[in-house]
A and B are shown apart, each in its own frame.
Chain A
Amino acid sequence: MKVLVAVKRVIDYNVKIRVKADNTGVETANVKMSMNPFDEIAVEEALRMKEKGLATEVIAFSAGPVQCQETIRTALAMGADRGVLVQTDAELQPLAVAKLLKAVVDKEQPGLVIVGKQAIDDDSNQTGQMLAALLGWSQGTFANKLNFADGWAEVKREVDGGLENIKIKLPAVITTDLRLCEPRYASLPNIMKAKKKPIEVLAPDALGVDVAPRIKTLKVEEPPKRKAGIKVKTVAELVDKLRNEAGVI
């Protein structure tokens, strides 16, 4: 089966973000951008499926401005076979991305879609579940481990109390959690090879998808700052402060 993975271009997780002075959003100019870390895990899992003979082809999907080609190239350098970019400068919210993904799924007919459980910019944790809903497919969210047998996937999921095992019918949508696998680094030869792999560019209109945002961002502000406190020298001093100053023990 074909496996489709979604990769989002986000501000690198190491960057300390800055809120714009006019409170319209977060500064993205001249900021290092990378693939969303959960999506790297998605790409890695799909590649391992291909290496085990479970997947025939790994297709990397992204949606957004032309620079998302770089994010797709990263996936191709890791080992994905080809890319699909739905190119638009419009603001894309999870429901719109899920609809774009559905349109590409309808075209490509993959047997599995793997996406990150959340993007580290908007922290929404929605796209995979929404895609599964739109397709009428099963969903294996927050996946910690995957196994496949007879048209079903066994998914070990990271849940509040620990882990949970479910069986879901294929085709399915998987969302990755941190412990699913450790993404590989692309080797230099593979980075060179990736330059020749095809990326198909599509437009939302051509896919018949209305991407208009349903949620309006009225303002974006800095969170209240916590003041740094004091350093204490001894455990006795700490216990005294906790008891008599903070009153928490």
Chain B
Amino acid sequence: MAILVVAAHDGKTVRANVANAVAAASQMGSDVHVLVAGSNAGDAAKSAAAIQGVAKVLQAEDAAYGNWLAEDIAPLVVKLAPNYSHIVMAADSVGKNIAPRVAALLDVAQVSEAIQVVSPDTFVRPIYAGNAMATVQSSDKIKVVTIRPTNFKAVVGSGSAAIEQIGGTGGSGLSSFVGAELSKSERPELTSAKIVISGGRGLASGENFKMLEKLADVMGAGLGASRAAVDAGYVPNDYQVGQTGKVVAPDLYIAIGISGAIQHLAGMKDSKTIVAINKDEEAPIFQVADYGIVGDLFQIVPELTAAVEKK
């Protein structure tokens, strides 16, 4: 049976992590379909059709699908589900919101944030903030799985899948979208950036994050933060890296003024190279850092910025 990947998109293109979800889905079975639901989702459907390994794109047009409300999208996925062995979504804020609603409506369990597909019914997923890895087997007929994008290399190359128009299921009337307050940034998106620079409570103010912005700009990096920095209002919530924030796995992660609590490590310890800048040589972050530098960040960061800028 085929696998259905439910794709989030911005109206123009599907999210980059859909290519990771397709890669994961391809390990569960061979016939991967992608559902693109939206109002005016034609361009997004085309972008899904161009992903290597996608056999078919289902485009569902409905005014109700414009803003990804779980109450409206879940019934559509449930209607399609009997034709599929697996429903797959990326474990981002869209997938986490919708997939469990779909699973419960189908009366099946969900496997959350799979990091490995062992076989079509068996998956590895982190528990306890990644301090343990559970291998789990689902006995349900339809398996609802969210996948952690950083653990599945995005498929490369292009495809040309057929796009099939399917009908919508209408609105539920249970919820409506009012508006978004999105953080504006020219910098690379955190979860796909090659370099991520994160600041913690050690930065001591939002103003001081400007220093990290400068370093991020010279390095072409995305900006992240610890929970403490977000809670203190230094930076917006979507900067949070960790167990209950975003999971990143860049080539280079630089933790600045971050102590390295397990909840933070859960979101970055799969990074290829980790650098820690901290004045406390006992800080736990040094236990996972490839390169540590003990000292005052207010001195080190400007020096580092200048050194990288100079080449």
**A residues at B contact (CB < 8 Å):** 11, 13, 16-17, 19, 26, 38, 93-95, 98, 117-118, 120-134, 137-139, 141-142, 144, 154, 157-169, 177-179, 213-223, 226, 228-236, 238-239, 241-242, 246, 248-249
**B residues at A contact (CB < 8 Å):** 67, 69-71, 74, 92-94, 96-105, 107-113, 122, 126-140, 172-183, 195, 219, 227, 230-231, 236-238, 240, 243-244, 246, 251-252, 262-263, 269, 272-275, 281, 286-294, 300, 303-304, 307-308
B residues in contact with A235, CB < 8 Å: 293, 300, 303-304, 307
- Is the Cβ of B104 less than 8 Å from the Cβ of A165? no
Other A-B contacts than A231-B286, A239-B307, 5 sampled, CB-CB below 8 A, are A121-B128, A179-B237, A222-B133, A232-B293, A238-B304
| Max chain B Cβ within 10 angstroms of own Cβ: one of A13, A169, A248 | A248
- Is the Cβ of B180 less than 8 Å from the Cβ of A13? no
- Is the Cβ of A223 less than 8 Å from the Cβ of B290? no
A residues in contact with B71, CB < 8 Å: 132, 138-139, 168
- Is the Cβ of A159 less than 8 Å from the Cβ of B93? yes
Closest to B174 in A: A138
| Max chain B Cβ within 10 angstroms of own Cβ: one of A16, A120, A127 | A120
Please pick, from A13, A19, A94, A169, the residue contacting B100 in the complex, using a CB distance under 8 A. A94
Q: How far is B178's CA from A154's CA once the two chains are assembled, in angstroms?
A: 9
A residues in contact with B140, CB < 8 Å: 214
A to B CB contacts below 8 Å, 22 in the list: A17-B128, A19-B132, A26-B132, A121-B127, A129-B99, A129-B100, A130-B100, A139-B70, A158-B238, A159-B94, A165-B181, A218-B135, A220-B133, A221-B132, A223-B131, A223-B132, A228-B287, A229-B291, A235-B304, A246-B273, A248-B195, A248-B252
- Is the Cβ of A228 less than 8 Å from the Cβ of B288? yes
- Is the Cβ of B291 less than 8 Å from the Cβ of A165? no
- Is the Cβ of A215 less than 8 Å from the Cβ of B111? yes
- Is the Cβ of A179 less than 8 Å from the Cβ of B230? yes
- Is the Cβ of A163 less than 8 Å from the Cβ of B112? no
Q: How far is B251's CA from A97's CA once the two chains are assembled, in angstroms?
A: 39
Top-5 shortest CB links A-B: A229-B290, A129-B100, A130-B104, A133-B104, A214-B109
Given contacts A141-B96, A232-B291, contact A164 B181 (CB under 8 A): yes
A residues in contact with B182, CB < 8 Å: 161-163
Closest to B252 in A: A248
Given contacts A142-B93, A226-B288, A248-B195, contact A95 B103 (CB under 8 A): yes
